[in-house]
Structure 1
Amino acid sequence: MQSISEKRTFWRSRFIDVAYDPVHEEMIDDMVMTHDIAESLFSPFVKKNAILDRTHLWRNKTVFYYIGNEYTDKHREVIRDGIQLIRDATCVKFVELRHPSQAPGTYVHISSRKGCYARIGSKCKNAVCEMSLEIPGCIHTGTVAHEFLHVLGFFHMQCATGRSNHIRVMFDNIDEKMWGNFEEYATDSTLLGTPYDYESITHYGSMFFSKDKINPSIITRDQTIQKRIGQRKYLSRGDIERVLRLYNCY
Protein backbone atom coordinates (compact mmCIF):
# COMPACT_ATOMS: atom_id res chain seq x y z
CA MET A 1 0.00 0.00 0.00
CA GLN A 2 1.36 3.43 -0.92
CA SER A 3 2.20 5.89 1.82
CA ILE A 4 0.74 9.40 1.72
CA SER A 5 4.16 10.71 0.72
CA GLU A 6 4.34 8.28 -2.22
CA LYS A 7 0.82 9.15 -3.33
CA ARG A 8 1.56 12.87 -3.14
CA THR A 9 4.64 12.35 -5.34
CA PHE A 10 2.51 10.42 -7.83
CA TRP A 11 -0.11 13.14 -8.10
CA ARG A 12 2.56 15.82 -8.38
CA SER A 13 4.00 14.01 -11.41
CA ARG A 14 0.53 13.74 -12.95
CA PHE A 15 0.02 17.48 -12.76
CA ILE A 16 3.44 18.17 -14.26
CA ASP A 17 3.43 15.60 -17.05
CA VAL A 18 -0.16 15.45 -18.31
CA ALA A 19 -0.78 18.03 -21.03
CA TYR A 20 -3.74 20.36 -20.67
CA ASP A 21 -3.91 21.19 -24.37
CA PRO A 22 -1.83 20.68 -27.54
CA VAL A 23 0.42 23.61 -26.64
CA HIS A 24 1.79 21.76 -23.59
CA GLU A 25 -0.16 23.65 -20.98
CA GLU A 26 -1.06 22.43 -17.50
CA MET A 27 -4.32 22.73 -15.57
CA ILE A 28 -3.85 22.97 -11.82
CA ASP A 29 -7.18 23.64 -10.11
CA ASP A 30 -8.25 27.04 -11.49
CA MET A 31 -4.88 27.93 -13.02
CA VAL A 32 -3.76 27.25 -16.59
CA MET A 33 -0.05 27.58 -17.29
CA THR A 34 2.66 26.53 -19.69
CA HIS A 35 4.60 23.38 -18.84
CA ASP A 36 7.73 25.38 -18.01
CA ILE A 37 5.85 27.48 -15.46
CA ALA A 38 4.37 24.40 -13.81
CA GLU A 39 7.78 22.74 -13.71
CA SER A 40 9.36 25.84 -12.18
CA LEU A 41 6.81 25.78 -9.38
CA PHE A 42 7.34 22.18 -8.32
CA SER A 43 10.89 21.32 -9.31
CA PRO A 44 13.54 21.97 -6.64
CA PHE A 45 16.08 22.22 -9.48
CA VAL A 46 14.44 25.22 -11.17
CA LYS A 47 15.41 28.39 -9.37
CA LYS A 48 13.43 30.98 -11.32
CA ASN A 49 9.81 31.33 -10.30
CA ALA A 50 7.51 32.28 -13.20
CA ILE A 51 6.05 35.11 -11.15
CA LEU A 52 9.39 36.90 -11.48
CA ASP A 53 9.78 36.25 -15.20
CA ARG A 54 8.87 39.65 -16.55
CA THR A 55 8.05 38.25 -19.98
CA HIS A 56 4.90 36.81 -18.39
CA LEU A 57 3.75 40.18 -17.03
CA TRP A 58 1.36 42.50 -18.84
CA ARG A 59 3.02 45.18 -20.94
CA ASN A 60 2.55 48.75 -19.79
CA LYS A 61 0.77 47.39 -16.71
CA THR A 62 -2.38 47.13 -18.82
CA VAL A 63 -4.77 44.19 -19.16
CA PHE A 64 -7.23 44.17 -22.04
CA TYR A 65 -10.30 42.00 -21.57
CA TYR A 66 -13.48 41.03 -23.39
CA ILE A 67 -16.68 39.81 -21.68
CA GLY A 68 -18.58 37.22 -23.73
CA ASN A 69 -22.10 37.79 -25.00
CA GLU A 70 -23.55 35.07 -22.77
CA TYR A 71 -23.37 37.37 -19.73
CA THR A 72 -26.29 39.58 -18.69
CA ASP A 73 -25.87 43.21 -17.70
CA LYS A 74 -25.96 42.11 -14.05
CA HIS A 75 -23.23 39.53 -14.63
CA ARG A 76 -21.11 42.16 -16.36
CA GLU A 77 -21.53 44.52 -13.44
CA VAL A 78 -20.24 41.86 -11.04
CA ILE A 79 -17.26 41.10 -13.29
CA ARG A 80 -16.38 44.79 -13.52
CA ASP A 81 -16.72 45.15 -9.74
CA GLY A 82 -14.22 42.32 -9.25
CA ILE A 83 -11.76 43.98 -11.60
CA GLN A 84 -12.33 47.28 -9.82
CA LEU A 85 -11.03 45.79 -6.56
CA ILE A 86 -7.61 45.48 -8.20
CA ARG A 87 -7.78 48.68 -10.23
CA ASP A 88 -8.63 50.84 -7.19
CA ALA A 89 -5.73 49.51 -5.12
CA THR A 90 -2.90 49.25 -7.66
CA CYS A 91 -1.37 50.87 -10.72
CA VAL A 92 -2.56 48.11 -13.05
CA LYS A 93 -4.97 49.34 -15.71
CA PHE A 94 -7.83 47.30 -17.17
CA VAL A 95 -9.35 48.13 -20.54
CA GLU A 96 -12.62 46.51 -21.60
CA LEU A 97 -13.02 45.67 -25.28
CA ARG A 98 -16.34 45.92 -27.09
CA HIS A 99 -15.14 43.24 -29.50
CA PRO A 100 -12.06 40.98 -29.57
CA SER A 101 -11.00 42.59 -32.84
CA GLN A 102 -10.25 45.77 -30.88
CA ALA A 103 -7.44 44.09 -28.95
CA PRO A 104 -4.06 45.70 -29.69
CA GLY A 105 -2.36 42.45 -28.71
CA THR A 106 -2.84 39.85 -25.99
CA TYR A 107 -6.14 40.04 -24.15
CA VAL A 108 -8.31 38.08 -21.69
CA HIS A 109 -11.41 36.46 -23.19
CA ILE A 110 -14.00 35.82 -20.47
CA SER A 111 -16.58 33.14 -21.21
CA SER A 112 -18.87 30.79 -19.30
CA ARG A 113 -17.23 27.38 -19.52
CA LYS A 114 -17.17 24.63 -16.91
CA GLY A 115 -15.80 26.05 -13.66
CA CYS A 116 -13.77 29.10 -12.67
CA TYR A 117 -10.24 29.29 -14.04
CA ALA A 118 -7.75 31.67 -15.62
CA ARG A 119 -4.45 31.71 -17.43
CA ILE A 120 -1.34 32.57 -15.43
CA GLY A 121 0.34 35.65 -16.88
CA SER A 122 0.19 37.09 -20.38
CA LYS A 123 1.78 34.37 -22.53
CA CYS A 124 -1.24 32.82 -24.22
CA LYS A 125 -2.04 30.79 -27.31
CA ASN A 126 -2.79 33.08 -30.25
CA ALA A 127 -2.63 36.07 -27.86
CA VAL A 128 -5.94 35.00 -26.27
CA CYS A 129 -5.86 34.34 -22.51
CA GLU A 130 -8.95 32.28 -21.77
CA MET A 131 -10.80 32.85 -18.49
CA SER A 132 -13.86 30.87 -17.49
CA LEU A 133 -16.44 32.39 -15.16
CA GLU A 134 -19.22 29.85 -15.27
CA ILE A 135 -22.76 31.13 -14.81
CA PRO A 136 -23.96 31.34 -12.10
CA GLY A 137 -21.41 29.77 -9.73
CA CYS A 138 -18.42 31.93 -10.61
CA ILE A 139 -20.23 35.24 -10.86
CA HIS A 140 -19.04 36.74 -7.58
CA THR A 141 -16.91 39.83 -7.09
CA GLY A 142 -14.27 38.01 -5.04
CA THR A 143 -14.07 35.10 -7.46
CA VAL A 144 -13.47 37.49 -10.35
CA ALA A 145 -10.71 39.29 -8.41
CA HIS A 146 -9.17 35.92 -7.50
CA GLU A 147 -9.02 34.85 -11.15
CA PHE A 148 -7.62 38.19 -12.30
CA LEU A 149 -4.79 37.87 -9.77
CA HIS A 150 -3.90 34.65 -11.60
CA VAL A 151 -4.01 36.64 -14.84
CA LEU A 152 -1.53 39.10 -13.32
CA GLY A 153 0.84 36.24 -12.47
CA PHE A 154 -0.05 35.09 -8.97
CA PHE A 155 -0.45 31.55 -7.65
CA HIS A 156 -2.31 30.14 -4.64
CA MET A 157 -1.18 31.26 -1.21
CA GLN A 158 -1.65 27.90 0.56
CA CYS A 159 0.97 26.36 -1.76
CA ALA A 160 3.67 28.94 -0.99
CA THR A 161 7.09 27.66 0.02
CA GLY A 162 7.29 27.39 3.81
CA ARG A 163 3.52 27.08 4.19
CA SER A 164 4.01 24.22 6.69
CA ASN A 165 5.07 26.81 9.26
CA HIS A 166 1.60 28.32 9.01
CA ILE A 167 -0.87 25.63 7.96
CA ARG A 168 -1.30 21.87 7.91
CA VAL A 169 -2.72 20.26 4.79
CA MET A 170 -4.83 17.27 5.84
CA PHE A 171 -4.28 14.95 2.89
CA ASP A 172 -6.29 12.16 4.55
CA ASN A 173 -9.34 14.42 4.29
CA ILE A 174 -8.80 15.26 0.61
CA ASP A 175 -9.75 13.20 -2.44
CA GLU A 176 -6.50 11.83 -3.87
CA LYS A 177 -7.38 13.22 -7.29
CA MET A 178 -7.16 16.71 -5.78
CA TRP A 179 -3.84 16.31 -3.96
CA GLY A 180 -1.94 18.05 -6.75
CA ASN A 181 -3.81 21.27 -5.92
CA PHE A 182 -2.22 21.31 -2.46
CA GLU A 183 1.42 20.68 -3.38
CA GLU A 184 3.93 23.08 -1.87
CA TYR A 185 5.83 25.13 -4.45
CA ALA A 186 9.57 24.47 -4.59
CA THR A 187 10.54 28.06 -5.34
CA ASP A 188 10.81 30.73 -2.67
CA SER A 189 9.86 33.96 -4.42
CA THR A 190 6.08 33.61 -4.65
CA LEU A 191 5.49 35.94 -1.70
CA LEU A 192 7.74 38.69 -3.10
CA GLY A 193 9.19 39.36 0.32
CA THR A 194 5.82 39.67 2.07
CA PRO A 195 4.67 37.52 5.02
CA TYR A 196 2.50 34.43 4.62
CA ASP A 197 -0.98 35.80 4.06
CA TYR A 198 -3.91 33.96 5.67
CA GLU A 199 -6.36 36.55 4.36
CA SER A 200 -5.20 36.46 0.75
CA ILE A 201 -8.05 36.18 -1.72
CA THR A 202 -5.95 33.43 -3.34
CA HIS A 203 -5.88 31.25 -0.18
CA TYR A 204 -8.02 28.11 -0.04
CA GLY A 205 -10.61 27.85 2.71
CA SER A 206 -10.76 25.21 5.45
CA MET A 207 -13.13 22.92 3.55
CA PHE A 208 -11.88 23.33 -0.01
CA PHE A 209 -11.85 19.86 -1.62
CA SER A 210 -12.69 18.20 1.72
CA LYS A 211 -14.01 14.69 1.13
CA ASP A 212 -16.99 15.01 3.44
CA LYS A 213 -17.23 18.78 4.03
CA ILE A 214 -17.02 18.00 7.75
CA ASN A 215 -13.31 17.41 8.31
CA PRO A 216 -11.13 20.30 7.09
CA SER A 217 -8.59 20.05 4.29
CA ILE A 218 -6.50 22.86 5.81
CA ILE A 219 -5.85 23.65 9.48
CA THR A 220 -4.02 26.80 10.53
CA ARG A 221 -1.23 26.33 13.08
CA ASP A 222 -2.74 29.23 15.00
CA GLN A 223 -6.31 28.10 15.61
CA THR A 224 -7.47 31.65 16.33
CA ILE A 225 -7.18 32.54 12.64
CA GLN A 226 -8.76 29.41 11.17
CA LYS A 227 -11.81 31.32 9.98
CA ARG A 228 -9.72 33.93 8.18
CA ILE A 229 -8.57 31.65 5.38
CA GLY A 230 -10.55 31.32 2.17
CA GLN A 231 -12.28 34.71 2.16
CA ARG A 232 -13.45 36.03 -1.21
CA LYS A 233 -14.72 39.48 -0.23
CA TYR A 234 -11.69 41.74 -0.59
CA LEU A 235 -8.03 41.94 -1.51
CA SER A 236 -5.88 41.58 1.56
CA ARG A 237 -3.16 44.11 2.32
CA GLY A 238 -0.71 41.43 1.24
CA ASP A 239 -2.49 40.86 -2.08
CA ILE A 240 -2.27 44.56 -2.82
CA GLU A 241 1.35 44.84 -1.74
CA ARG A 242 2.40 41.93 -3.96
CA VAL A 243 0.73 43.47 -7.02
CA LEU A 244 2.41 46.80 -6.24
CA ARG A 245 5.80 45.11 -6.03
CA LEU A 246 5.41 42.82 -9.04
CA TYR A 247 4.26 45.63 -11.32
CA ASN A 248 6.61 48.29 -9.91
CA CYS A 249 3.81 50.59 -8.83
CA TYR A 250 6.05 52.54 -6.46
Structure 2
Amino acid sequence: EGVNYYFDYNASPKLRSVFKKGANAWQTNTCINFKEDSEATDKIRVFFEKGCWSYVGRRGGKQDLSLGKGCDAVATATHELGHALGFYHTMARHDRDEYIIINVQNIQPGLYDQFTKQTTNTNENYNITYDYGSIMNYGGRAGSYNGEAVIVPNDVMYQETLGGPFLAFYDILMMNTHYNCLGELASKGCLD
Protein backbone atom coordinates (compact mmCIF):
# COMPACT_ATOMS: atom_id res chain seq x y z
CA GLU A 1 0.00 0.00 0.00
CA GLY A 2 2.67 2.51 0.96
CA VAL A 3 2.48 6.08 2.17
CA ASN A 4 0.32 8.47 0.19
CA TYR A 5 1.01 12.18 0.12
CA TYR A 6 0.01 15.30 -1.73
CA PHE A 7 1.18 18.89 -1.91
CA ASP A 8 -0.97 21.77 -0.75
CA TYR A 9 -1.39 24.69 -3.15
CA ASN A 10 1.13 26.73 -1.11
CA ALA A 11 3.97 24.20 -1.50
CA SER A 12 6.69 25.81 -3.61
CA PRO A 13 8.63 23.88 -6.25
CA LYS A 14 11.65 23.81 -3.91
CA LEU A 15 9.55 22.47 -1.01
CA ARG A 16 8.14 19.77 -3.30
CA SER A 17 11.64 18.83 -4.43
CA VAL A 18 13.12 18.52 -0.94
CA PHE A 19 10.12 16.51 0.28
CA LYS A 20 10.46 14.07 -2.62
CA LYS A 21 14.19 13.71 -1.93
CA GLY A 22 13.47 13.06 1.77
CA ALA A 23 10.85 10.46 0.84
CA ASN A 24 13.31 8.88 -1.57
CA ALA A 25 15.93 8.57 1.20
CA TRP A 26 13.51 6.45 3.26
CA GLN A 27 12.17 4.55 0.23
CA THR A 28 15.65 3.67 -1.05
CA ASN A 29 16.73 2.23 2.30
CA THR A 30 13.51 0.54 3.47
CA CYS A 31 10.52 -1.38 2.09
CA ILE A 32 8.34 1.74 2.49
CA ASN A 33 6.97 3.17 -0.74
CA PHE A 34 5.70 6.71 -1.23
CA LYS A 35 3.04 7.66 -3.75
CA GLU A 36 1.69 11.08 -4.66
CA ASP A 37 -2.09 10.64 -4.41
CA SER A 38 -4.40 13.41 -3.21
CA GLU A 39 -7.46 11.14 -3.53
CA ALA A 40 -6.28 8.46 -1.09
CA THR A 41 -8.21 8.13 2.17
CA ASP A 42 -5.05 8.21 4.29
CA LYS A 43 -2.49 10.72 3.10
CA ILE A 44 0.10 13.24 4.22
CA ARG A 45 -0.63 16.84 3.25
CA VAL A 46 2.71 18.58 2.69
CA PHE A 47 2.34 22.31 3.10
CA PHE A 48 4.07 25.56 3.98
CA GLU A 49 3.17 26.82 7.45
CA LYS A 50 5.11 28.25 10.37
CA GLY A 51 7.72 25.76 11.50
CA CYS A 52 8.93 22.31 10.59
CA TRP A 53 6.68 19.67 12.10
CA SER A 54 4.74 16.46 11.65
CA TYR A 55 2.58 14.27 13.81
CA VAL A 56 4.21 11.06 15.02
CA GLY A 57 2.90 7.94 13.32
CA ARG A 58 -0.09 7.27 11.12
CA ARG A 59 -3.18 9.12 12.30
CA GLY A 60 -5.57 8.18 9.51
CA GLY A 61 -7.27 10.54 7.08
CA LYS A 62 -5.44 13.71 6.13
CA GLN A 63 -2.26 14.14 8.16
CA ASP A 64 -0.30 17.40 8.08
CA LEU A 65 3.44 17.79 7.61
CA SER A 66 4.73 21.37 7.56
CA LEU A 67 7.91 22.53 5.89
CA GLY A 68 7.77 26.25 6.67
CA LYS A 69 10.30 29.04 6.35
CA GLY A 70 13.83 27.71 6.84
CA CYS A 71 12.65 24.09 6.55
CA ASP A 72 13.37 23.65 2.86
CA ALA A 73 16.29 21.24 3.27
CA VAL A 74 16.33 17.54 2.40
CA ALA A 75 17.53 16.68 5.92
CA THR A 76 14.54 18.51 7.43
CA ALA A 77 12.06 16.77 5.13
CA THR A 78 13.66 13.40 5.90
CA HIS A 79 13.47 14.16 9.64
CA GLU A 80 9.80 15.19 9.50
CA LEU A 81 8.96 12.10 7.46
CA GLY A 82 10.66 10.07 10.19
CA HIS A 83 8.05 11.47 12.58
CA ALA A 84 5.19 10.70 10.18
CA LEU A 85 6.51 7.13 9.90
CA GLY A 86 6.41 6.71 13.68
CA PHE A 87 9.69 7.98 15.13
CA TYR A 88 10.04 10.32 18.07
CA HIS A 89 13.22 12.34 18.44
CA THR A 90 16.26 10.26 19.32
CA MET A 91 16.94 12.55 22.29
CA ALA A 92 13.44 11.68 23.55
CA ARG A 93 14.08 7.92 23.74
CA HIS A 94 13.03 6.30 27.01
CA ASP A 95 16.65 5.17 27.55
CA ARG A 96 18.29 8.49 26.66
CA ASP A 97 19.73 9.07 30.14
CA GLU A 98 22.16 6.21 29.50
CA TYR A 99 23.63 8.23 26.61
CA ILE A 100 22.96 11.95 27.01
CA ILE A 101 22.22 14.74 29.45
CA ILE A 102 19.51 17.29 28.63
CA ASN A 103 20.32 20.75 29.99
CA VAL A 104 16.72 21.85 30.48
CA GLN A 105 17.81 25.30 31.68
CA ASN A 106 19.13 26.06 28.17
CA ILE A 107 15.97 25.11 26.24
CA GLN A 108 14.04 27.90 24.51
CA PRO A 109 10.61 28.42 26.06
CA GLY A 110 8.06 26.69 23.86
CA LEU A 111 10.42 23.91 22.81
CA TYR A 112 10.39 21.81 25.97
CA ASP A 113 8.04 19.26 24.41
CA GLN A 114 10.66 18.48 21.75
CA PHE A 115 12.83 17.03 24.52
CA THR A 116 10.14 15.19 26.52
CA LYS A 117 11.39 11.73 27.39
CA GLN A 118 9.14 8.96 26.12
CA THR A 119 8.21 5.83 28.04
CA THR A 120 8.62 2.18 27.09
CA ASN A 121 4.90 2.26 26.20
CA THR A 122 5.29 5.08 23.67
CA ASN A 123 8.80 4.38 22.36
CA GLU A 124 10.07 1.02 21.07
CA ASN A 125 13.78 0.98 20.30
CA TYR A 126 14.03 -2.72 19.37
CA ASN A 127 17.19 -2.99 21.49
CA ILE A 128 19.00 -0.83 18.93
CA THR A 129 21.64 1.42 20.43
CA TYR A 130 21.36 5.20 20.67
CA ASP A 131 22.64 6.86 17.50
CA TYR A 132 24.18 10.26 18.21
CA GLY A 133 24.30 11.01 14.47
CA SER A 134 20.66 10.09 13.87
CA ILE A 135 18.69 12.37 11.58
CA MET A 136 16.04 12.24 14.33
CA ASN A 137 18.47 13.68 16.90
CA TYR A 138 18.97 17.42 17.33
CA GLY A 139 22.39 19.00 17.22
CA GLY A 140 23.82 19.81 20.64
CA ARG A 141 22.78 23.48 20.64
CA ALA A 142 19.54 23.16 18.67
CA GLY A 143 16.65 24.60 20.63
CA SER A 144 18.96 26.61 22.89
CA TYR A 145 17.90 30.09 23.94
CA ASN A 146 21.40 31.12 25.07
CA GLY A 147 23.73 29.34 22.64
CA GLU A 148 24.78 26.82 25.27
CA ALA A 149 24.43 23.07 24.71
CA VAL A 150 21.03 21.52 25.36
CA ILE A 151 22.18 17.97 24.58
CA VAL A 152 25.48 16.73 25.98
CA PRO A 153 26.57 13.13 25.33
CA ASN A 154 27.79 11.21 28.37
CA ASP A 155 30.82 10.52 26.16
CA VAL A 156 31.71 14.07 25.08
CA MET A 157 33.63 12.71 22.08
CA TYR A 158 30.21 12.50 20.37
CA GLN A 159 29.28 16.18 20.88
CA GLU A 160 29.92 17.22 17.29
CA THR A 161 28.28 14.06 15.94
CA LEU A 162 24.84 14.97 17.31
CA GLY A 163 22.10 15.38 14.72
CA GLY A 164 23.34 14.08 11.39
CA PRO A 165 22.26 15.63 8.05
CA PHE A 166 21.27 12.30 6.46
CA LEU A 167 19.90 8.91 7.43
CA ALA A 168 22.28 7.08 9.73
CA PHE A 169 22.74 3.32 9.78
CA TYR A 170 20.68 2.92 12.95
CA ASP A 171 17.86 5.13 11.59
CA ILE A 172 17.61 2.73 8.67
CA LEU A 173 17.91 -0.40 10.83
CA MET A 174 15.25 0.82 13.26
CA MET A 175 12.80 1.82 10.50
CA ASN A 176 13.30 -1.51 8.74
CA THR A 177 12.76 -3.34 12.03
CA HIS A 178 9.67 -1.24 12.81
CA TYR A 179 8.08 -2.04 9.43
CA ASN A 180 9.31 -5.66 9.25
CA CYS A 181 11.39 -4.89 6.15
CA LEU A 182 14.51 -6.85 7.05
CA GLY A 183 13.46 -10.12 5.41
CA GLU A 184 12.22 -8.36 2.29
CA LEU A 185 15.43 -6.39 1.94
CA ALA A 186 17.61 -9.46 2.55
CA SER A 187 15.85 -11.29 -0.29
CA LYS A 188 16.75 -8.44 -2.68
CA GLY A 189 20.45 -8.97 -2.07
CA CYS A 190 23.13 -6.30 -2.08
CA LEU A 191 22.25 -3.03 -3.78
CA ASP A 192 25.09 -1.15 -5.47
Into which bin does the TM-score normalised by the smaller protein fall? Answer: 0.7 to 0.9
Give the structure-2-normalised TM-score: 0.88
Structure 1: tracts of 5 or more residues without a match? 1-59
1:198 counterpart SS class: coil
Q: Work out the CA distance in 2 between the residues paired with 1:90 and 1:184.
A: 26
Q: Give the letter for the 1:85 counterpart.
A: A
1:77 positional shift: 1.6
Structure 2 counterpart of 1:140, which letter?
A
**In the alignment, structure 1 residue 109 sits paired with structure 2 residue 45:** yes
1:89 is displaced (CA, Å) by 0.3
TM-superposed CA distance for 1:130, in Å, is 0.9
Report what 2:190 is aligned to. Answer: none
2:28 is paired with a residue whose SS is: helix
- Supply the AA of the counterpart residue of 1:71: A
- Paired letter, 1:202: M
Residues 187 and 72 (structure 1), Cα distance of their counterparts in 2 relative to 1, 3 Å cut: same
Conserved in 1, the CA contact under 8 Å of 2:11 and 2:46? no
In 2, are the aligned partners of 1:201 and 1:234 still within 8 Å (CA)?
yes
- CA shift at 1:205, angstroms? 1.2
Q: CA deviation at 1:72?
A: 3.0
The structure 2 residue matched to 1:184, chosen from 117, 120, 123, is 117
The residue correspondences of 1:7-22 to structure 2 (distance < 5 A) are none
CA distance, structure 2, for counterparts of residue 193 and residue 209 of structure 1: 28
- Please show how residues 130-145 of structure 1 align to structure 2 within 5 Å: 130-134=64-68, 136-145=69-78
Residue type at the aligned position of 1:179: Y
Name 2:13's counterpart in structure 1.
73
Residue-by-residue CA offset, 1:133-185 (whole Å, 9 max, x unaligned): 11x41111011011111111111110111211111111122245433332221
Q: Paired residue for 1:64?
A: 4
Partners of 2:101 and 2:179 lie apart in 1 by 31
Aligned to 2:153, which of 194, 206, 220? 220
Cα RMSD for the two superposed structures: 1.6
Q: What is the identity, as a one-letter code, of the residue corresponding to 2:177?
A: R
- Residue in 1 that maps onto 2:93: 160
Indicate if the aligned counterparts of 1:65 and 1:95 stay in contact, CA closer than 8 A: yes
Map of 2:187 onto structure 1: none
Q: How does 1:232-247 map to 2 (within 5 A)?
A: 233-247=165-179
Q: 1:198 aligned to 107, 111, 132, which one?
A: 132
Task: Indicate the residue corresponding to 1:21 in structure 2.
Answer: none
8 Å contact kept, 1:155–1:190: no
| SS at 1:196 equivalent | coil
8 Å CA contact retained: 2:14, 2:72: no
How many residue pairs align between the two structures? 181
Q: CA deviation at 1:67?
A: 1.3
Residue aligned with 1:131, SS: strand
- Displacement of 1:117 after TM fit? 0.8
Residue 82 in 1 paired to residue 22 in 2? yes
Greater C-alpha Rg = 1
